[in-house]
């Protein structure tokens, strides 16, 4: 077993998070030392609904809160509890009681019902630490870092600014441990990467950002802008492991088509390391018998923290 301690926030308890946690505890406890941000009452409810035993070595943080689990329901109380569980996990890591955080899926509507202003985990981390967290998703075969995240598509164009992109690329580079001579592919915004201005001129800002970043690094790390519709073909994925997408669906649609079960979400450029499963609460199958949940994303999220050098 690795000695790394990982604080695990339980996500929305009306979803599949607690099933994944209980089903995979024995494997996870062989990989690291987990502490689950939940209390005995809510944990017991979940175990009863799932007809599962709570392992003897199941360590909890006793996250405060009272609620009745309502499988598959959007709930103000479950939204608040998933937020409180995440806050406890953050405190563990900030107080050096954990080496990282792994988060189970939340439900954004439930957070909204609870009056929580954040869109999700990354926004909350960005605010708490006053640091420009970077959202990166993927698996060992391919990772996609998102330059813009949860904003309407019509607002993306206004975000394509050279210096802001330079700052993003520099922060991404320092957050990764690249192999020698490894490059990162940067996607264009427009179809055909603008075709030299025929289909849009945003690529000129991307080109300037790539050139300025490589100059600052003293080596050519970033390559592009790549034509988005061919960036993820097999030949490109043989050359590049890391990609920078200009907007959410540009990067995540191909990633999830290729590696849905394996992908994880990583928050980079922070004082603490946070990973998450790259899937939702799956309310439609939560607590249902024989739902055959895939644990690949969860286990990969744990392994990513364990594999990182201190």
Domain residue extents for the chain: 1-132+271-310, 142-261
d(CA 238, CA 221): 16
Contacts of residue 85, defined as CB under 8 A and 6 or more positions apart, other chains included, come to 9, 10, 11, 37, 38, 63
The yes/no answer on whether domain 1-132+271-310 falls in CATH 3.40.47.10 is no
pLDDT attached to residue 200? 76
Closest CA to 103 of 119, 117, 83, 118: 83
CA distance 142 to 137: 8
Q: CA dist 46 to 29, 216, 236, 291, Å?
A: 19, 52, 44, 15
pTM over 0.85: yes
Report the DSSP pairing between strands 33-37 and 5-9: parallel
Residues in the chain, pLDDT under 50? none
Per-residue pLDDT reduced to its tens digit, 145-169: 999 998 899 999 999 999 999 999 9
Query: From CA 300, how far away is CA 263, in angstroms rounded?
Result: 8
Q: What is the pLDDT of residue 287?
A: 97
Task: Provide CATH code, domain 142-261.
Answer: 3.40.718.10
CB contact at 8 A, 231 and 243: yes
Question: Under a CB-based contact definition with an 8 Å cutoff, are residues 297 and 284 in contact?
Answer: no
Q: What pLDDT shows up at residue 310?
A: 59
């Amino acid at each position: 077993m690795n000695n790394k301690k990982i604080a695990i926030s339980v996500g929305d308890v009306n979803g599949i998070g607690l099933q994944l946690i209980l089903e995979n505890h024995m494997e996870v406890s062989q990989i690291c030392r987990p502490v689950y941000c939940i209390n005995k009452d809510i944990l017991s409810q979940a175990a009863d609904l799932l007809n599962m035993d709570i392992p003897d070595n199941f360590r909890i943080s006793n996250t405060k809160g009272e609620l009745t689990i309502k499988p598959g329901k959007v709930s103000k109380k479950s939204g608040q509890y998933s937020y409180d569980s995440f806050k406890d996990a953050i405190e563990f890591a900030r107080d050096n009681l954990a080496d990282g955080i792994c988060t189970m899926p939340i439900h954004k509507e439930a957070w909204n019902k609870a009056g929580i202003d954040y869109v999700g985990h990354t926004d909350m981390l960005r605010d708490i630490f006053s640091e420009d967290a970077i959202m990166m998703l993927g698996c060992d075969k391919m990772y996609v870092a998102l330059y813009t995240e949860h904003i309407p598509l019509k607002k993306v164009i206004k975000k394509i600014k050279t210096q802001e992109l330079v700052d993003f690329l520099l922060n991404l580079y320092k957050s990764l441990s690249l192999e020698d001579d490894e490059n990162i592919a940067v996607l264009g915004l427009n179809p055909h990467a603008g075709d030299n201005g025929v289909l849009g001129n945003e690529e000129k800002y991307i080109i300037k950002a790539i050139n300025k970043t490589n100059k600052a690094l003293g080596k050519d790390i970033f390559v592009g802008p790549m034509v988005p519709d061919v960036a993820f073909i097999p030949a490109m994925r043989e050359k590049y492991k890391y990609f920078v997408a200009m907007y959410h669906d540009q990067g995540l649609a191909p990633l999830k088509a290729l590696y849905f079960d394996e992908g994880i979400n990583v928050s980079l450029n922070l004082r603490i390391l946070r990973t998450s499963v790259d899937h939702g609460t799956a309310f439609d199958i939560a607590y249902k018998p024989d739902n055959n949940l895939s644990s690949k994303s969860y286990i990969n999220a744990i392994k990513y923290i364990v594999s990182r050098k201190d």
